[in-house]
Amino acid sequence: MTTSMTRKIAAGLGAASLLLVVGPSGALARPWAGFTMRAAPGGVRVDRVLPTSPAARAGLRSGDLIFRVGSARVSAPADVVRITGRSKVGQLLRLRLRRGRRALTLWLRLRKAPGAAALLRLYWLNRPAPAFTAPLINRSGSKSLAYLRGKPVILYFWASWCDSCKLNFPKLKRLHGQFAGKGLVIFSLSQDKKTSKTKKTLRLLRLPFLVGHNYRNRIGRLFLSNKVPTLVAIDRKGVVRDLIRGSGYGYQRLSRLAQKLLR
């Protein structure tokens, strides 16, 4: 994972700051705590603790107010990032915080930062998918994620210029053939600037499922993703259950995922 990729993911979180600290240039290991936070009166407020992260293992919770890290008082996310950035992977950090009316001390052991794809998956896992509406390319009108609520959905971000994206289409077509009758919806979103290029690709590939236009990656950015191919699995309640980048997965993984979504 490059430093620029890490910073882009962190910047994409808006008001929350992702505690994914990048060490000195060229460092092989970057310390990571794994929670989002924002400035609050008296310290920094924890917004979300990523699953399996060091913060989760330490017992940190959403809503906790951190006012001291080690011996230093903190009043902004940048303070926590700076302190962590000066630390090492494996080092224990003492967090002083308030949880409701209680003052607590937690010990957090920093771990090596995960790659960008793993980080993105951790961030979205078990979170509601962002709302969007996309104009359809292979049908008339448009389709919103809200309209599909109640059905499990596989979103697939791709582009006609992306050869690795096309490697997944035989698997997705097979998945559609096996599970569409049971309620699974595959909604592919093309990142092509011109729909004419997408239509040309569709004539060659004969995709049987929905194809929408992700113009200028407008929808991908909602998921903090600028890479194709990316697959996002969403359950009947609109909650993200998996996020997979690349084309290195087999059909069996997709089949198991579809069965899980359909339960």
* Residue type, position 258, single letter: A
CATH no. for 126-262: 3.40.30.10
Quote the DSSP letter at residue 239. B
Tokens describing residue 195: 């729909």
- Largest Cα separation within the chain, whole Å, is 64
Domain ranges of the chain: 3-114, 126-262
The answer to whether the bond into 152 is cis (omega within 30° of 0) is: no
The rounded distance, in Å, linking the Cα atoms of 146 and 167 is 29
> What local confidence, expressed as pLDDT, does residue 26 receive?
40
**Cα–Cα distance, 153 to 244 (Å, whole number):** 14
Which three-class secondary structure state does DSSP give residue 12?
Answer: coil
For 3-114, the fitting CATH number among 2.30.42.10, 1.10.1740.10, 2.130.10.10, 3.50.50.60 is: 2.30.42.10
pLDDT per residue, tens digit, the chain (263 aa), is: 344 444 444 433 333 444 443 333 344 478 999 999 999 999 999 999 999 999 999 999 999 999 999 999 999 999 999 999 899 999 999 999 999 999 999 999 999 988 888 989 999 999 999 999 999 999 999 999 999 999 999 999 999 999 999 999 999 999 999 999 999 999 999 999 999 999 999 999 999 999 999 999 999 999 999 999 999 999 999 999 999 999 999 999 999 999 999 99
